[in-house]
Structure 1
């Protein structure tokens, strides 16, 4: 018996997200920006422990957002906030101030965070059938 027929929950049209889900995504976006800012400051302060702490915090938020909302959108929202914050912090200001030095730690933080974003969005909770009759992987 196929679970992709017209009466299947997987074949239903997409609906608008509820107000609570939108608020959750906005909150996760803001949390992602805060974690990106905190990670930027911590990764340079205590190498290599600060780098590992910053990446672990980002991974925890990305994966936690996915499991909290029950979908991959919960991982994407904090990832977008993290990337926006980190990209805005990489630009040099006219006064000459910047938060990222041209060292290996900064590049590991940027590339490691992006790799973790892809991993957590892929591994995170996706849309799964609700009933126990579905056999995934067949």
Structure 2
């Protein structure tokens, strides 16, 4: 930090402070901070979480849970139409929100969301030659398909907007 006694290094870019005049320059980006001070990340950026064995285990569990919730939701939404559909979408929302909160990253929403999407669209909506299928052509099936995608997008977007590691305080110093 630059003081009237010339307490700045010449390499810090703090203008006239290194020459001993005792003035601080506005042009220097680090003139007001000590060299070892932690720097807060820019607004809107989320620091990447380290990939550990525990985190990979959580992602694998979320992947399996996404497949299970997709299968259960497919069966429940058609069984009891209005209540089953609400229960299936609540289960999907709980999985996506819980995955985001458990990992603290948007990948916690995207991993079970991708598993759910692949399971529902590719595996469960496939019609076999014998005529067996899990999804009917009713309105509830389409609401479940599109509603699950909308819930995943909402949870992923809300997870990205949540500030992490930034303390509340005054703007500008």
Please classify the TM superposition score into its range, dividing by the shorter chain length.
Answer: 0.7 to 0.9
Q: Deviations over 1:50-82 (max 9, x none)?
A: 000000000001001101111111111110111
Unaligned runs of 5+ in 2: 1-28, 31-37
2:72 alignment partner, one of 33, 38, 42: 38
1:10 alignment partner, one of 28, 41, 48: 41
Q: Deviations over 1:84-126 (max 9, x none)?
A: 1111100101222100011101000001111011001111266
Over the residues paired in the alignment, what is the CA RMSD in angstroms? 2.7
Name segments (4+ residues, structure 1) moved above 4 Å.
Answer: 11-16, 133-136
TM-score for both structures, normalised by structure 2 = 0.67
Question: What SS is found at the alignment partner of 1:122?
Answer: helix
Structure number having the greater helix percentage: 1
TM-score for both structures, normalised by structure 1 = 0.83
Higher RCO, Cα 8 Å, sep 6+: 1
* Count of paired positions: 132
Check 1:114–1:24 CA distance in 2 against 1; reply closer, same or farther (3 A cut): same
Check 1:54–1:19 CA distance in 2 against 1; reply closer, same or farther (3 A cut): same
Map of 1:25 onto structure 2: 59
